[in-house]
Amino acid sequence: MDDVRAPVEIGQILAGKYRIDRVLGAGGMGVVVAATHEELDQPARRARERRRRRALKREARAAVKIQSEHVARVIDVGTLDTGAPYMVMEYLEGTDLAHKIAESKTLPVEDAARFVLEACEALAEAHAAGIVHRDLKPANLFLARRADKTSMVKVLDFGISKSTVGGAGGITSTQAVMGSPYYMSPG
């Protein structure tokens, strides 16, 4: 994605510790970059978000509560000097399921079944922790490449998740519509 324009530059140090290696994507909600932790020399995926600070914290807290290997790990959250919130996640090699489907048009039944089961594992743990994802779709199912070149599903983007415990609730009223229309439940 070399043609992506972002308000960050390659080599720039953010939050005093993350060196931007490359921009992975940019959109209305923020910028996603591959960055290296300067002290640890550890790669990470860093999302510099423009959306509300509460939504970013909710996403980070939800992902941290879910210990499934099928949920992307959150490493750090904070606020830049500019006041913009950020979240650092594990760096994942691979592609999301939406791109895989667009590329292949069809998936082998064995792969499709495995992807669904792995996503269900993550969601079962999320539900056990009282968290409802609310935007499950192929673009939020990342096929992460393991060291042995096999892939595993990692559920991404708990940004509009809802907590069902402790009365915390989500970010919406009962009348609000959240999620991606093609993937929302009909009720």
State how beta strands 30-37 and 42-49 pair: antiparallel
135 is catalytic: yes
The H or E element containing residue 132 is strand 131-132
| Residue 86 Cα distances to 79, 125, 181, 184, angstroms | 6, 25, 27, 27
Euclidean distance between CA atoms 160 and 185, whole angstroms: 15
Which of the 8 DSSP states describes residue 169? Answer: B
Nearest residue to 152 via CA among 107, 106, 115: 115
Q: Judge residue 85's burial from the number of C-beta atoms within 10 Å of its C-beta, 0-12 exposed, 13-18 middle, 19 or more buried.
A: buried
Cβ contacts of residue 177 below 8 Å, gap of 6+? 184
Determine which one of 3, 76, 81, 135 is catalytic. Answer: 135
Strands (E), 15-84: 18-27, 30-37, 42-49, 74-79
Euclidean distance between CA atoms 49 and 14, whole angstroms: 13
- Residues with a catalytic annotation lie at 135
